[in-house]
Amino acid sequence: MSKLPDILIVGAGIFGLAAAHELQTRGYGRITVLDPGPIPHPLAASTDISKAIRMAYGPDEQYLLLAAAARDGWLRWNEQWGETLYHEWGVTMLTREPMAPGGFEYESYHLLHKHRFTPERLDGDEIIRRFPGWQPGRYVDGFYDAQGGWAESGRVITTLAQSATNKGIDLQPGHTVNEIIRQGGRAIGVRTQEGDTLTAGEIIVCAGTWSQLLLPELQAMMHSTGHPVFHLRPPEPALWQHPHFTVFTADISRTGWYGFPWHPQAQVVKIANHGIGQRLHPVDEARVVVAADELNLRTFLQDSFPELAAAPIVYTRRCCYSDTLDGHFWIDRHPEVAGLTVAAGGSGHAFKFAPVLGGLVADRLEGKPNPFGDKFRWRTLAAATQQEEAARYK
């Protein structure tokens, strides 16, 4: 054990904690995770009260298979933790026009069936019968997938952090890394804003939307975008509670809107936009939801959920994505700096893969083959590269 390299992980979000657990399982000693803290960090993408868990990825078979493996992992985590942090309450994906070849919902529905999953097709009448909160006649097609739902994201991070500590992983909040120390073509340590210097045999940068600040060579392929998130307090909670309402997407590739059923602890309905977002600097610019964002939300609600149209907004945040130009994650060893691995570029859709992210990172660090590794490799992207994640409103 003492001959194995020590690991220093920068960032205690979902990438960093998943990697720490997997590497500890593989026998690595002296694993240290640095984070500005608190954990979960309030500005990290992996915090908040909920994240959607779905297998639907349009025509992208690799993502579907990875999401299916992750779903199995979520169910195992529920058993291991002795509490349900992944709620398999189903996902409803609806369209304003009949599903057609090439569309996100059409391709998702048929690919799920190809792999022997059983999403249920819904027409306009069935949508309203089963989910009466939707505006009658506005959404005419889509499907319901019972094998999906949502995870209590902030509590998942808290649980993973506590579990890491219990396993002997050295979790150190209060350390804001602002430099990767390189020497002779190798990463040998980090310096922190607080004035500390720490060395390690292997460094893994899992710093989310701050990753490109630590590694300027990523800035041509990765940037930060902010996306509005709203928590609403509806006047009639029963209409938005499971099973009468589920995690949903509302013609998402053409609108960006998605959301969640009534959260039993927070007592809110969360709605957000998975779209173009606002390009911003992760440190120097404020992450605020502005009046135009709220106007767009109210317009969407009036059109889709009229009973929510006047519901008070009790909390907002601008979730900051670590966006790669093509929308795929960035998990690989640095091609020019030994001892340095990057696991970032979540692009607004990584959290659902939490149970399998650690394996992806560890395989890349060890140079082991992984069927999904090439998709997330270190790559050169032209400035005109387009987002490829099928659900993303572009």
Number of domains in the chain: 1
Distance (Å, whole) CA 68 – CA 72:
7
Q: Mean pLDDT score of the chain, rounded to an integer?
A: 97
Core vs surface per residue 116-149: b (16+ CB within 10 A) or e: ebebeebebeebbebbebbbeebbbbbbbbebbb
Phi, psi angle pair for 278, to nearest 5°:
-115, 120
pLDDT in tens, 298-336: 999 999 999 999 999 999 999 999 999 999 999 999 999
Structure tokens at 179: 């430099």
Give the pLDDT of residue 1: 31
Residue at 43 is within a domain: no
Distance (Å, whole) CA 52 – CA 342:
24
Residue at 97 is within a domain: yes
Region 56-73: what's the mean pLDDT? 98
Give the pLDDT of residue 2: 39
Residue at 239 is within a domain: yes
pLDDT in tens, 17-27: 999 999 999 99
Residue at 251 is within a domain: yes
Give the pLDDT of residue 4: 55
Residue at 356 is within a domain: no
Q: What is the DSSP letter of 96?
A: S
pLDDT in tens, 178-192: 999 999 999 999 999
What does pTM read for this prediction? 0.97
Q: What is the dihedral of CA 18, 67, 350, 6, to 10 degrees?
A: 20
Give the pLDDT of residue 29: 85
Query: Which helix (H) or strand (E) segment is 25 a member of?
Result: helix 14-25
pLDDT in tens, 224-271: 999 999 999 999 999 999 999 999 999 999 999 999 999 999 999 999
Residue at 121 is within a domain: yes
Burial class (CB in 10 A: 0-12, 13-18, 19+), 65: middle
User: What SS3 state is found at 202?
Assistant: strand
User: pLDDT > 70: what percent of the chain?
Assistant: 99
CATH number at residue 259: 3.30.9.10
Residue at 389 is within a domain: no
User: pLDDT > 90: what percent of the chain?
Assistant: 98
Least confident of 3-12, 158-167, 256-265: 3-12
Give the pLDDT of residue 5: 61
pLDDT in tens, 339-392: 999 999 999 999 999 999 999 999 999 999 999 999 999 999 999 999 999 999
Give the pLDDT of residue 3: 43
Domain that holds residue 280: 88-147+223-324
Q: Compute CA distances 217 → 45, 138, 211, 223, whole Å.
A: 22, 46, 10, 12
**Which residue type, as a one-letter code, is found at position 256?**
G
Region 84-103: what's the mean pLDDT? 98
What strands, in cross-sheet order, belong to the sheet with 197-199? 177-183, 186-192, 197-199
- Contact between 19 and 358 (Cβ < 8 Å): yes
pLDDT in tens, 14-53: 999 999 999 999 999 899 999 999 999 999 999 999 999 9
Residue at 267 is within a domain: yes
